[in-house]
Amino acid sequence: MIVAEDLNVEVVAADRKVWSGAASIVIARTPEGEIGIMPGHEPVLGLLVAGPVTVRSTGGEAVVVAVSGGFLSVSENQIAILAEQAELAGEIDVAAAQADLDALDEDGDGAARWAQARLDVAASR
């Protein structure tokens, strides 16, 4: 029986570390649906789609991060979320995201999905 410890979470964008800390659960979106990871989870290397990643920190607060895709790796309670672009819900500039979305065609392009993900996360904060 694995003793439930805290998850050690790192959310990393290509050019900076967005968030790191201890958490009790991490919920992310993979191409096949949502995945929730709690302490003691088996090692996973999964793809992420653009959208929100929710990290419930041990303090009880929910940290929501918008990611542009990327992937997630879990091993021995170490979780790394790697996205080329990632922004904390509080950091998102709604006007800029909307402008990005308007400038792009809504054909499911990566940049458009990233803009939409930011808007969705910002709307739910």
Partner 1 sequence: MGAQIRELRQRIRSVESIKKITRAQELIATSRIARAQQYAEAARPYSQALVRAMEAAAERARLDNPLLEGVENPRRSAILVVTSDGGFAGAYSANVIRQSEALAGLLREQGQETVPYVVGRKGVSWFTFRGRELGGQYLGFTGRPSYADARGIADDLLEAINTPTEEGGVDEIHIVSTHFRNMVTQQVRARRLFPIMVEDVPEELHQAEAGAARTDNGGSAGSSNGRPARTDVLPLYEFEPSADEVLDALLPQYAGNLVYTALLDAAASEWAARRRAMKNATDNAGELQETLTRQSNSARQAEITQEISEIVGGADALAAAGSE
- Of 16 and 60, the one with the shorter C-beta distance to partner 1 is 16
Q: If binding is defined by CB under 8 A, does position 17 make contact with partner 1?
A: yes
Q: Which of 10, 24, 88, 104 binds partner 1 (CB under 8 A)?
A: 10
Q: Cα dihedral sign for 64, 69, 74, 79?
A: negative
How many angstroms separate the Cα of 70 from the Cα of each of 36, 66, 95, 98, 125?
16, 11, 24, 22, 22
Q: How many residues does the chain have?
A: 125
Q: What phi, psi does 22 have (nearest 5°)?
A: -90, 145
Q: If binding is defined by CB under 8 A, does position 8 make contact with partner 1?
A: no
Rounded to whole angstroms, the Cα distance separating 94 from 84 reads: 19
CB under 8 A: which stretch of 42-50, 53-61, 87-95, 98-106 binds partner 1? 42-50
Q: Which of 4, 5, 6, 14 binds partner 1 (CB under 8 A)?
A: 14
Q: If binding is defined by CB under 8 A, does position 43 make contact with partner 1?
A: yes
CB 66 within 8 A of CB 99: no
Q: If binding is defined by CB under 8 A, does position 12 make contact with partner 1?
A: yes
- Interacting residues toward partner 1 by CB under 8 A: 10, 12-17, 30-32, 35, 42-47, 69-71, 73, 75-76, 80, 82, 84-85
